[in-house]
Amino acid sequence: MEAIHITDVAPRDGLQNQSVHVPTQAKLKLIELLSNAGVSSVEATSFVSPKAVPQMADATELVQELSRVFENLRLSVLAPNLKGLERALAAGAKEIAVVLSATEMMNQKNINMSLDAAIAASEQTLHRARDHGLRRRAYIAVAFECPFEGATGLDRTMLLAKKMLEAGAQEVVIADTIGAAAPLDVKERMSALAEVVPVSQLAIHLHDTRGMAVANAWAALEAGIRRFDSSVGGIGGCPFAPGAAGNLATEDLVLMAGQCGFDTGIDLNLLLDAVDFAEGVLERPLGGRSSAWLRRRRARDTSASAS
Ligand code: COA
Ligand code: ZN
């Protein structure tokens, strides 16, 4: 079976936008449940201004605790500028991600920088991270459509992806931040991007706003993409991008990939434990499109093994 690689971004992309305050201990527990289910890579938090994203104010404490507990889990943190990188380094992070939006307006809204300033900040941060021996990812946000500027040109996304690769990103993550992409578009764009970034270093980050996330993930698989971001329970959204709803749910991706002959290394019943836990913490029902069926199957499995 061919493997696909999944980074669960629920603790960062998922939680950053929640109105309920999530205590550090609950974040640790969620990551532990993900790890138990076989998730090998997690985006844990972000080193951004706590005024901009209060939910991530405990980033230092969380990373310190995580590094103590999980030695074999790949843990990435968002660090959009040098200040974020310095804080990540001080906390002991081993992997960072920069976030560059493809449009002028989205950079302004998200990180208060022009596109040119955001490119420079991302390049600088990647260079410095490389000097410190950290692993490096770079997001190209609103790579398909921007809530402020409309459709994003493929040439723009390709140019920025290439720049991030040249600046030392080991993984370039193409993000459909507001979940506006369609499967054919995903297939065409990811195929074109694979000509400027080695496909082994290209990842896709999908949102499910229009119910297209699984179809889009399939389209990306067809384009040869094997690295995916997803969020357990589909928890997600961006506080700075109006209309950004939940992410591609990890359980939907794992189910679809398994049905199509790809190995994710993730156990769906154990993953449901993480969904159940997150529901308790966020005090609302969660789960991808498949979760009701997955829960029924789990109940059947449990009663079959008890009899
Ligand atoms: N972590 C913590 N604090 C930071 C920081 C970081 N990475 N970068 C800047 N700051 C602090 C500065 O020290 C300064 O603090 P002060 O007001 O106490 O003096 C304040 O934030 C403003 O600094 P400035 O350089 O003028 O930044 P800004 O106000 O233009 O904000 C960001 C830049 C990137 C820090 C801010 O826009 C941000 O955190 N955005 C959130 C991005 C995000 O998480 N988006 C969702 C995921 S894509
Ligand atoms: Zn996202």
Q: Where are the domains of the chain?
A: 2-306
Separation CA 229–CA 244 (nearest Å): 15
Q: What is the pLDDT of residues 58-103, one digit of tens each?
A: 999 999 999 999 988 999 999 999 999 999 999 999 999 999 999 9
Catalytic, out of 6, 56, 100, 238: 238
Return left, alpha or beta for 38; rule: phi > 0 is left, psi -120 to 50 is alpha, else beta.
Answer: left
Ligand 2 centroid, distance to 215 Cα (angstroms): 17
| Predicted local confidence at residue 105, as pLDDT | 97
Examine the residue annotation and report whether 238 is marked as an active-site residue of this protein: yes
- Within 8 A by CB and 6+ apart from 45, the residues are 11, 12, 27, 56, 58, 59, 62, 63, 77, 78
> Cα-flanking dihedrals φ and ψ of residue 77, to 5°?
-135, 145
| Predicted local confidence at residue 238, as pLDDT | 73
The answer as to CATH 3.90.950.10 being correct for domain 2-306 is no
Q: Report residues of the chain scoring pLDDT below 50.
A: none
| Predicted local confidence at residue 240, as pLDDT | 80
Closest CA to 206 of 174, 235, 238, 233: 174
Answer yes or no: is the C-beta of 84 below 6 A from any ligand 1 atom: yes
Ligand 1 centroid, distance to 32 Cα (angstroms): 29
* Among protein residues, the one whose CA lies closest to atom 14 of ligand 1: 49
Answer yes or no: is the C-beta of 238 below 6 A from any ligand 1 atom: yes
Answer yes or no: is the C-beta of 87 below 6 A from any ligand 1 atom: yes
Separation CA 121–CA 107 (nearest Å): 11
| Predicted local confidence at residue 241, as pLDDT | 77
| Predicted local confidence at residue 205, as pLDDT | 98
Task: Count Cβ atoms below 10 Å from residue 154 Cβ, excluding itself.
Answer: 16
| Predicted local confidence at residue 237, as pLDDT | 74
| Predicted local confidence at residue 245, as pLDDT | 77
**CA distance to 9, 76, 182, 193, per residue, from 186 (Å):** 20, 25, 6, 10
* Among protein residues, the one whose CA lies closest to atom 29 of ligand 1: 112
Answer yes or no: is the C-beta of 101 below 6 A from any ligand 1 atom: no
